Amino acid sequence: MRNTEMLLIPGPTPVVDSIYDALAEETRSHTDSRFVAIYRSAIEKTREMLNTDGEVFVISGSGTLAMEMALVNTVSSGEKLLVISQGYFGDRFIQLGKAFGIQVEVLQAEWGKRVSPEEVEKRLAVGEFKAVTITHADTSTGVAADLDVLVPVIKEHGALVILDGVCATAAMEEDMSKTYGAPDYKIDVILTGSQKAIGVPPGLAIVAFNQSALAARQKIKGVPAYYCDIYNWIPIMNDPSKYFATPPVNLIYAYDEGMRLVLAEGMDERYKRHEAYGKGVRAALKEYGMRALAEEDVAAATLSCILYPDGLNDAAFRAALAEKGMIVSGALAHLAGKAFRIGHMGNTTAQMLEKAIVLIGETMNELGYNVDSSKATARFNEAISLCTK
């Protein structure tokens, strides 16, 4: 393992050596048949991961670009968008929608809680919404959306379901062929980035459109974007030897290797592993008097937002962990200083998380608490074995 630190933040996440090796391969022409074959394979693997017969896009950009691409190709200026927001990244769709003249309405949950499906139902009943955005795992709060409950409500009202999977894809179930209660009740658009649960360095925007979403694009006369217009990319995704804009050649090598690892592990295995990590980390930290912002029944598998016990200083805590080679994130907005966020996704292993739990315990003891890390690691291992049975 080339990494010298444990990058346990909600993205970027730990990169493994075979991905670094791929990244360091010789840069070739984007039209070289050897590169084209790898790009084609990366696109195919993405299609397989999301189980879609629609179009997938793997292009330079971050998760935010993927959000923009999802939105501008489905919802026109003047049309209505409903944003289901369970934190900071849900709210980002409000700004995005406004930037394109979209009429945005928003249902915001108190941080740490979910928006109720009844509220969604009520709002959809009184307006013609073109699409609804859901953040699968909101990285600010560690709250996961319940797709089984939300997708049917949205589809009943004929709106498109746009799923932000930036902190979830490859770790929490996202299957574009899955039907949610009726044959045509499916997730229409999924967007993500390379650097979170997929575990590849940052720099790729990944988006998938199903046939309904593609039909919505067809009805739009002119998309208010150029780089983000999927019609400029469909020919490339179907034949990567064609040119529209230079793809990030080395990052595509890395992504293809990352996706190989994802598919080799298997999607169901990955969903189970992440569920186990989330439960395990939160159970362990509870032993230290640390509570997750999100209750267990709404908590995300990929990251947790953990409230500090009284008196624990955020800056001192995170600096002491960094000294020990473990990086976690501060909390956002009104939770800054009151909580930290720990990622447990992608190429992160149970061994790394067990070590992280020990280091957190050591740090707390240095800062004047009296905690027992052996109890905490025992809770972690119990939770893991229950989930992976």
Query: What's the min distance (Å) between Cβ of 138 and ligand PLP?
Result: 6
Task: Report in angstroms how near the CB of residue 167 gets to ligand PLP at its nearest.
Answer: 4
**Which residue lies nearer to ligand PLP by CB, 190 or 307?**
190
Query: Smaller CB distance to ligand PLP: residue 62 or 365?
Result: 62
Considering CB under 6 A, how many residues would be counted as binding ligand PLP? 12
Q: Which residues contact 147 (CB under 8 A, 6 or more apart)?
A: 134, 136, 163, 173, 180, 187
Determine the Cα–Cα distance for residues 264 and 274; give it in Å rounded to an integer.
16
Strands 339-343 and 329-330: antiparallel
Per the CB < 8 A criterion, the answer to whether 253 and 25 are in contact is yes
Q: In the beta sheet, which residues pair with residue 342?
A: 304
CB of 77 vs ligand PLP, minimal distance in Å: 23
Query: How near is the Cβ of 311 to ligand PLP at its closest, in Å?
Result: 30
> Which region, judged by CB under 6 A, interacts with ligand PLP, from 18-26, 59-67, 96-104, 221-229?
59-67
Residue nearest to ligand PLP (CB): 63
Calpha distance 86→47 (Å, rounded): 28
135, 169, 329, 363: which one binds ligand PLP (CB under 6 A): 135
Adjacent-strand bridge partners of 106: 83
| Annotated binding-site residue? 318 | no
Q: Indicate whether 15 belongs to the interface with ligand PLP (CB under 6 A).
A: no
Residue 19 touches ligand PLP, criterion: CB under 6 A: no
Return the structure tokens found at 95: 């700004």
Q: Does 11 bind ligand PLP (CB under 6 A)?
A: yes
Q: Specify the residue, 63 or 199, whose C-beta has the smaller distance to ligand PLP.
A: 63
Min CB(341)–ligand PLP separation in Å: 10
Residue 89 binds to ligand PLP (criterion: CB under 6 A): yes
Tell me the C-alpha distance between 135 and 261, whole Å.
25
Q: What is the DSSP string of 323-350?
A: HTTEE-EEPPGGGTTTEEEEE--TT--H
* Cα angle 187, 89, 16; round to 5: 80
Max Cα–Cα distance, the chain, nearest Å: 64
Site for ligand PLP (CB under 6 A): which residue of 46, 76, 86, 139? Answer: 139
CA distance 114 to 138: 10
DSSP-H helix ranges across 209-310:
211-219, 230-238, 249-265, 267-286
Q: How far apart are CA 21 and CA 61, in angstroms?
A: 22
Q: Does 64 engage in binding with ligand PLP (CB under 6 A)?
A: yes
φ, ψ of residue 291 to 5 degrees: the values are -110, 145
Sites for ligand PLP among residues 158-217 (CB under 6 A): 164, 166-167, 193
Could you say which of 63, 112, 142, 346 contacts ligand PLP (CB under 6 A)?
63
Binding residues: 341
Binding residues for substrate: 341
- The site for ligand PLP (CB under 6 A) is made up of 11, 62-64, 89, 135, 138-139, 164, 166-167, 193
